[in-house]
Amino acid sequence: MALPLDWPADPRDDEFLIGNSNARAVQQLEHWSTWPVMAVVVTGPRKSGRSLLARIFAAKTGGGLIDDAERQNETSIFHAWNRAQEDRRPVVIVADAPPPEWTIKLPDLRSRLAASPTVRIGDPDEELMRAIFERQFLRRGIDARPEVIQWLVLRVERTHITLLRTVDLLDQALLARHKRLSIPLARATLIEAGLIPGAAPDLFPEPTETP
């Protein structure tokens, strides 16, 4: 069941929704005092909410945050890791993949990250897809009926990036056509964009010749 994040308590926490794909990551962050070291690596697909979850965690624990770690200076990450141990304030390191899967040239940093726990956010399940669709449509002021959302959940690829692209495309289609969101409109829009299989609609049909 997808629910608003109830830890830690903060008015902005409803921005992050929990499903089977990320519940384990949230649980591991909740119990940060049991980590073997004061550092954690958070991985997962882009647009999965990994950076948001890391920001919430850092704000509530008073710890540090290093986002997009693969593209950051290794020496800076090394010093941040050491400082976290000295101050006993956790540092959360957000990356696309666990440290063994990205090249780390600094040996001391490589060994420290290897000793750090890793938590992963996965692709959304059906319940989380539904909850995110509802949240995104609500933010944009789009009246999305339950049957339309269910139709989307069953057909759109279960990745965060595809989900958000779907919402963007439907939002643009509604603005251009001044229509209400419906299954036929969603089908035509997503087929045209290649997000679901089907014959692309002919937007500019040839005129029919009369004898």
Query: What one-character DSSP code corresponds to residue 71?
Result: G
Global pTM exceeds 0.95: no
Give the chain's count of helices (H) and strands (E): 8, 6
pLDDT of amino acid 16:
81
Average pLDDT (190-211) is 66
Count of domains observed in the chain: 2
Examine residue 162 and state whether it is found in any structural domain, yes or no: yes
Asked whether residue 133 falls in the same domain as residue 150, the answer is: yes
Of 69, 98, 120, the domain-final residue: 120
Main-chain phi, psi angles of 91, to 5 degrees: -115, 130
Examine residue 36 and state whether it is found in any structural domain, yes or no: yes
pLDDT of amino acid 189:
96
pLDDT of amino acid 13:
45
What is the residue range of 135's domain? 126-193
User: Can you read off the two tokens belonging to residue 88?
Assistant: 């006993």
Q: What angle do CA 149, 154, 158 make, to 5 degrees?
A: 100
Of 120, 150, 180, the domain-final residue: 120
Residue 100 belongs to domain with CATH number = 3.40.50.300
User: Can you read off the two tokens belonging to residue 180?
Assistant: 């209400």
Asked whether residue 40 falls in the same domain as residue 135, the answer is: no
C-alpha span between 123 and 139 (Å, rounded) = 22
| Residue located via tokens 């509802």 | 134
Residue 69 pLDDT grade (very low, low, confident, very high; cuts 50, 70, 90): very high
pLDDT of amino acid 199:
60
Average pLDDT (180-199) is 92
Examine residue 77 and state whether it is found in any structural domain, yes or no: yes
Residue 179 belongs to domain with CATH number = 1.10.8
